[in-house]
Structures are given as structure tokens and as C-alpha cells.
Structure 1
Amino acid sequence: MSDDGPTAGSGVVLVHGIGESGSTAEQLVQQWLPALQTGLRTAGADELADQLVAGPGRLGVQMAYYADVFAPYEAANAMALATDPDLTEAIGQLTQQWLETAATRSSDPADRTAAQDALAFGATEESLWDTLRILSDALNDLHFFRPGVVSAAGFVDHALREVALYSANAQVKTAVQQRIRAAVTPTTRVVVAHSLGSVAAYEVLQEIDQPIVLLTLGSPLGMSTVFYERLTVQPPHVPACVTAWTNLADPDDLIATHLDLAPYFPPAPGRTVQCISHQIDNGADPHDPVRYLEHRQAGAAVGAALTGP
């Protein structure tokens, strides 16, 4: 069967992050593909950029879409938070770590001060709910989470719900990973994963035995307790199928709690492939996948995957 056949799959599989319930897979591909082409051109791969298309084939691009998986759970989640300690714990851990990242790394002095104050104030509360209220209110006030900085209205609410559900609900986690696994076919050469999608893609790649290049963008994979200690394979390491792993992180991207993932993901047993992290500048929208993809490092990683042996 030709690798351009209707069931062959695509050479490039994209995996989106949180807060995409208002978009479709096709819309996301149309947003990401031009940015990926820009990254390829910036890396000197103009001809390859011109050949990349949406759809199946060796130079085809498709989105592993999973945002709709959360829909049946989100409506009930508000009530579940009051009774489900796993969800409440996950939201508390996530909120705490985002504020800790802002307190130590944000380039906005006001954000650093606000995060430090909220963490100190929240630590004085005996009630978990009072602590969560203080911390979540502080997150909403950070410059990073204001409209125009993160491209989604109500991003904090979306993030808290979706990350908590993925982290603590086995059915949600399985369903998300199944979507990604279905998109990775023998044609696939590179997986490009953003935000929460990088966590799910990493877990899927632990079960795949074909060579794959991995590009992660704004990844929270190193986030302790919420993700890192909950990964299926322990201790975590570079998936054995991965022939190269490039990780891009903007220092102002609070979702990427650790800018360098190499210390947390050593080579797989018997392998030498390491995660290579690059700190880049996404300007006014530090977590935006489109801005990440436009960088030379993103284009170089994808270009090498599609032109290599």
C-alpha cells in the first residue's frame, strides 16, 4: 500500500494542549501548519516547507484531537470537586506549582510579587478550600493568564479542569492517549506535542516501537506530583522509540515549570538519546504553540525527522 493511501496516516502528528474545546482538528491544523512551515524556512528547509500539506502521506500533517474527551466530565466536575479528593488534590498541586514558577521566574515584577504574596497568604489558611480560592484568584490576576497573553478566554478555569481530569481520572487519560495512539501510524516520523499534549504523547510513545522524533513545546512533563510522579513508566526516561527529542520552552511560559527536561528524563536503558532543551522567546504570548513552531529549532527538528534515513 502506498504511504499516501487514505489510511496510511501522516508523517507529522500534532498534539494540541489544553483549552482547545472551541476548535476542531482541522482548524488547529490550519493554525499550526503555516507556523511549522515558517519554522522550516527559518531552519533553511524552504523546499520541505513548500511540500508540507494537511492530510495523510509522508509529508502530511494531522492533528491528534482530544479536546472533546473532556466535555462529558466538565459539566459534572464543579460538583465533583467538592467530593472527589483526587481532583481537588490535583487542582491544588497545579495551582501551587504555577504560582511557585511565577514567583521565581516571571519577567514581570508585579507577577512575581503577586505570586509570592499569594503563596505566603495561602500557607496561613487551614481550610483547603480557602487556600485554593486564594491561589486560584491569584493565578487569574497574573499577567500571563490575562486575555491576549494566553490565547483562550477563561484559560485558568479550562486548565485547572482539564489537567485535573487528565491527571486524576483514568478514563479521561486512557481516552486522550487512545486518540494519539490512533494517529501514530507506520508513516509517522515526528510527533509535535504542546502543553498537556506533550504529557499524553510521551506516555503513548513509551508503547511504540517504531523510530519517532519528538518535539515538545511548553511542556509540563517535569511538573512534580501533578505529572512526573504519575507517569506510567517509572523512573521516567526518554522513550526507547525516540531517536531525537527537542524541547522548547519560553522562560515566561509558566506551564513549562522546568525549562530543561534532560535532568528528569535520562536516556532509556541501553540507549544514548537525550532530551535537548532550548530556551526561546515567544514575545507577548509565551505559551502559544504557533509562536513555538515558528522558531528555527522547531523547524530543524521536524526537518531532520522528515529528511533523515
Structure 2
Amino acid sequence: MSRVVVVHGVGRQLDTAETLLAELEPALRGGVGLALRRDPTLGGLADGDVACVAYGDLYRESGARGEPYYRAEDVEDGFEADLLEAWWREAARLDPRIPGPDQATGGPGARGAVGRLASRPLTVDRVRRGLHALTRSRFFGAVSERLLISDLKQVSRYFTEPGLRAAARARVEELLTPETRVVVGHSLGSVVAYEALCAVAPAPDRGPLTLVTLGSPLGLAGLVFDRLQPVPGGWPTAVKRWTNLADRGDVVALVRELAPLFGPELQDLTVDNGSEMHSMRAYLTAAQTGTAIATGLAV
């Protein structure tokens, strides 16, 4: 049985647990290896210790060929538009070359990290400006507008479709065994992992769990934090240790310190992923991530 369970983020609808494991396990082992070089007393990994949760297929349309060809007109008012603006504002704050929402419209200065597009009339032109700015930023530069809209919709669907949400969390719960020691969640996967662990009660045959969140949007007020189940800000009772890691330039991890929201026991760490600010592989190969995982394995 696996001792480390890894939960992916959006954009993985063509992957299975097997393809994810082939890609992510070497990166995870590399990060743990770096940690063991620094402290050999930490816990290592044996064959079969890592398993990946795959829930991307829940987003695949039956019989559909590839991703729908989304356009700016397909971004819906409310959650999708608000999340787009939150990313847009943060990208502009981090990258001076990117015009922010207020600059683009000639309005007053920024009103904080998270704007509310829904507070203004939604226009396709404004959405286009946001998409244009993001896909030319350092963060989203390799992502097409079509895929960026798809990511918005995947996050939105998780919070608005109870059946999909429950099914994704069930995929995590299925892999949790008495041998599991560490759960790693990246991006939206950190939300799925968090909510799944909140539903897991401590048991006599289950050891203490460590939660490691990477590039997490859990702290994003209004859009993510306030929608968490069962209670925003609750500590998963089965979790003994929680480490949250964020790159300073990660637009998705807009709120990089989660301890003020979830409790002082949570450890927030900053990592440097270079030009791959939100890359799961980059997060996993960081020595800080490896240390958090290896510490959980040593318990």
C-alpha cells in the first residue's frame, strides 16, 4: 500500500493514475532525495510507496474530441469572471509589463489583490483584455486562451457541481490506507485533498497524516476559502502536520500564507521554481517539499 498519495490540479483530464505516476514519481523522489542529503534521519521511499489520484476524467465529455474550443464569450459571469480578474490583478502586480484591470480601463488604481469583475457590467471586451494580459504574462505565457478558459471552468465546476466534487474527493479517500503517511495536493488538488481529509476521521489503525500543499488557492477569499467544506478554515482532524509551499510568483497561490486562516500549526514556506512558478514538477523537486514529505514519512 502506498505511503504517499499525490493529488493533481486542473488540466489533467487526459491522464490516468498510471500516467501521472510515471511523470510525477521521479520528481517527488528527487525532492525527497535532496532532503535526505541534508538530513539522513528523515524517512525515505521504497518501491510502491507513491500513488497518484486521477480525477481529470470526471471533466471529460463523453464522446468529445479534445478540449472544447472556448472563446472569451464562453467565460461566464460570476465565479469564472471573478477568478479571471483575481489572476489578472495578481499577474499585473507581479509583472510590471502587464497592464492591470484598472489600467486597461483607465480607471482608478488597483483595489486590492482580488477584484470583483461581477461588481461591474460583464463585457466580452473586458474578458478579452484579461485573457490577453494573462496569456502574455510570465506566468501564463505558455498557455493558450482556450486552455486558460478551460482551467477557469474546471475550478468553477468543482465548486458548483456537487456530484463532480464528491466524486473527486472519493478518489482521494479510496487511496487512503492505514499505511498512508503523506498526502500531497497541487493547485486545485490541494482543495480536493483538504476536503477529502476533512471527511476522514482519526482511526486506531491509521497513523498520523501529513498534508503538503503546493501552489494552493485555499486562501483565496470569496472564491475558494469561503466555499470550503465542511467549514472554511477547519483543521482536518486526521492531519497532524501541514506544510504549505508557494512560489512568490505563483498567481494561483495568490494568498501564500495559510497559517492565519487555518491555524498557527501550519507551516508556510516559500520556494523558487524559476520560470515554472506553478509547475507541479518544479514544486516536487524542491528540497523544501522533499523535507516536508520525508518528515511525514519518518513519523
Report the Cα distance in structure 1 between the residues aligned to 2:255 and 2:12, rounded to whole angstroms: 23
TM-score by length of 2: 0.83
C-alpha distance 154-38 of structure 1, shift in aligned 2 (>3 A): farther
- Does residue 210 of structure 2 align to residue 221 of structure 1? no
CA distance 1:218–1:66, change in 2 (3 Å): same
Aligned: 1:38 with 2:59: no
In the alignment, the residues of structure 1 paired with residue 220 and residue 63 of structure 2 have an alpha-carbon distance, to the nearest angstrom, of 23
Alignment match, 1:263: 260
Structure 2 equivalent of residue 248 of structure 1: 245
Alpha-carbon displacement from aligned partner over 1:45-100 (angstroms, at most 9, x marks no partner): 579887433x4xxxx11101000001138979889x989x9x63110121011112
Counterpart in the other structure of 1:4: none
Identity of aligned residues (%): 34
Residue number among 38, 50, 66 corresponding to 2:55 in the alignment: 66
Q: Distance in 1 between matches of 2:119 and 2:10?
A: 31
User: CA offsets per residue over residues 147-186 of structure 1, 9 Å max, x none?
Assistant: 2xx6x99541231121111122212111111111111122
Q: Which runs of 5+ in 2 are unaligned?
A: 108-116, 203-207
Residue of structure 2 aligned with 1:117, choices 78, 98, 103: 103
Correspondence 1:103-252 to 2 at 5 A: 103-104=92-93, 106=94, 108-111=95-98, 113-114=99-100, 117-118=103-104, 126-147=121-142, 154-210=146-202, 211-252=208-249
Q: Distance in 2 between matches of 1:283 and 1:157?
A: 25
Is the Cα contact below 8 Å between 1:70 and 1:162 reproduced in 2? Answer: yes
- Would the alpha carbon gap of residues 71 and 137 (structure 1) be closer, same or farther in structure 2, given more than 3 Å must change? same
For residues 272 and 73 of structure 2, what CA distance do their matches in structure 1 show?
39
Name the residue aligned to 1:6: none
* Cα separation, 2, equivalents of 1:34 and 1:115: 40
Give the structure with the larger helix fraction: 1
Q: Distance in 2 between matches of 1:42 and 1:28?
A: 22
Once the two structures are superposed, what CA deviation does each residue of 1:210-249 show, in whole Å capped at 9, x if it has no partner? 3210000000001122211111133412212111111110
Unaligned 5+ residue runs, structure 1? 1-8, 268-273
The aligned residue for residue 84 of structure 2 is 95
Amino acid at match of 1:181: E
**Correspondent of 2:16 among 11, 24, 28:** 24
Q: Which is further off, 177-186 or 152-161?
A: 152-161
Question: Mean Cα displacement is larger for which, 136-145 or 188-197?
Answer: 136-145
